[in-house]
Amino acid sequence: MEDSILLQQVRTKAKAWLSEEYDAETQQKINELLNKEDSSELVESFYKDLEFGTGGLRGIMGVGSNRMNIYTVGAATQGLANYLKKEFATLPQISVVIGHDCRNNSRLFAEKSADIFSANGIKVYLFPELRPTPQISYAIRKLGCQSGICITASHNPKEYNGYKAYWSDGAQVIAPHDKNIIAEVNHVSSVKEINFKGNPALIQLLDHKIDESYINDLLTLSLSKEAIRKHKDIKIVYTPIHGTGGTLIPKALKALGFENIIHVPEQDVVSGDFPTVKSPNPEEAAALKMAVEKALATGAELVMASDPDADRVGVAVRNEKGEFVLLNGNQTLLIFTYYLITRWRELGKLTGNEYVVKTIVSTELIKNVTKKNGIQLFDCYTGFKWIADVMRQNEGKRTYIGGGEESYGFLAEDFVRDKDAISACMLLAEIAAWAADNGKSVYELLQDIYVEYGFSKEKGISVVRPGKSGAEEIEAMMKNFREHPQTELAGSKVIFIKDFSKLIGIDTIENDRVTLDMPTTSNVLQYLAADGTKVSIRPSGTEPKIKFYIEIHSKVSSRDEVAAADIAAEAKIDAVRKSLGI
């Protein structure tokens, strides 16, 4: 009965899209769905409205209220425009930046959004072609705009697209603006309320000057110019995986002084179909396969791959046997943080007022590095908008060194407020040169960090549950972990539980409760065991999956002990998985 009622509601909703306000192509596809014997695609397309969440929109492209198309994107843009006009009513001219990635329909969605903003009297600075997401953040700040959007679904499969909304500081929106924008978007109840008729006089295409300005500002971050000069010929393979990184990263590396950047020609091809990979995600080994093969063939030392919107970077380095190994996001975060603090100290830049930011699911080794060097560490929620929030709160009070998260995102500069693969690639290349100048490889540098600060191994495990039933299953899993919390992890007693949905911390030894100091609640659960093991559990905010983050700790006294520690940690991770039932 419930299914038949849902199908009836869905069919009624779909038929409303057959009105003249929708274009002929949309109406044709709606009719095809309505006439299909199998109604599953129709239900998935209309059973709910694609939600404009705190990070914007992200979903599968297609017709329907639960899909990314010009009408759902249009409603989001109209709602954002309505909010901007209220929030900045006293400004003579409100302005926004619009950028997009390589995905199918990204340019279309960007241009439609430009039309809508301009139709509402808002000036638009539109990038003429695809550009990295962090450059949109940079441009908002550089041009003094009140907001901006980037059409991107980051590393999602090719069927997806998305819509990220930014505020005047170049960061993705948070409270109170996120909820207020969502309310305005939800008030757009009809396609008739979306003003698609643009005003060309208010749309300005940006030129190459914004690229040059961005790269020039990134060059000011360099801390080891002499090492770069000595090792300018180091062979570096870089791939944009068909995405936006190809527009700037090779230029930026060359401007920094590196002269031997090796391309993967097949992956320089801009394509939203990502023809050479199953998934354009630099977290996955398969996405770097062609780049690693190129590095082996050319004798390169370093492999870097940015995701389609170039805000994250995956890395492969040679081990002691000359084989390429992939670093995970926690390892690159650790290397970045260690290098920046070390060089700031060596150059006399530390004053005792500096800080670093990491997310609550990222490696705890960062605490060891910052504590030993007298640097303040801030923990925040997953998502770079929270790192940007810490930066906003510390503006003019403390000096930002860097911040990152386990999901391969890092930000070394304070004039951008989102993770940045351009600066990260520049920084990685510089670290490789600096390590070489100190007689070691990047891999050996990582081992030396483990010896000094402790060894850790982290593993992210995603359980995918697509569709309506999947969302319900994920919700049930989170509920079960809360109502029946773990008492042990691979034999080690759970001594502390953090439930960020209620901002409650539970000391299981003392049976005591504390309030967690966070800016808002979040659907995250953490278990901390007596032996240092940490497990974090959260539903993804952008994909149909529940994520488990497992972190194991031990000590090593030399490089020779790292391999054995790694094997032992892997076995322990498997035991923790069994404890969790995943």
Map residue 521 onto helix, strand or coil. coil
The catalytic position among 95, 154, 423, 579 is: 154
Helix (H) or strand (E) holding 515: strand 512-515
- Return the residue matching tokens 């510089």: 430
Neighbouring C-beta atoms of residue 91, cutoff 10 Å: 11
Backbone angles phi, psi at 536, to 5 degrees: -120, 140
Helix (H) or strand (E) holding 571: helix 562-580
Q: What whole-number distance in Å separates Cα of residue 359 and Cα of residue 541?
A: 15
Per-residue HEC secondary structure of 227-293 comes to HHHHCCCCCEEEECCCCHHHHCHHHHHHHHCCCCEEECHHHHCCCCCCCCCCCCCCCCHHHHHHHHH
Distances (CA, A) of 150 to 192, 194, 247, 370, 415: 24, 19, 16, 33, 18
Q: What residue type is assigned to position 286 of the chain?
A: A
- Record the tokens describing residue 132, joined without a space: 């990295």
Q: What whole-number distance in Å separates Cα of residue 417 and Cα of residue 308?
A: 18
Q: What whole-number distance in Å separates Cα of residue 339 and Cα of residue 212?
A: 26
Rounded to the nearest 5 degrees, what angle is found at the Cα of 102, between the Cα atoms of 75 and 120?
Answer: 30
Q: What whole-number distance in Å separates Cα of residue 471 and Cα of residue 461?
A: 17
- Pairing status of strand 492-499 against strand 525-529: antiparallel
| HSE (side-chain half, CA atoms, 13 Å) at 426 | 31
154 classed as catalytic: yes
Nearest to 324 by CA among 291, 371, 287: 291
What are the catalytic residues? 154
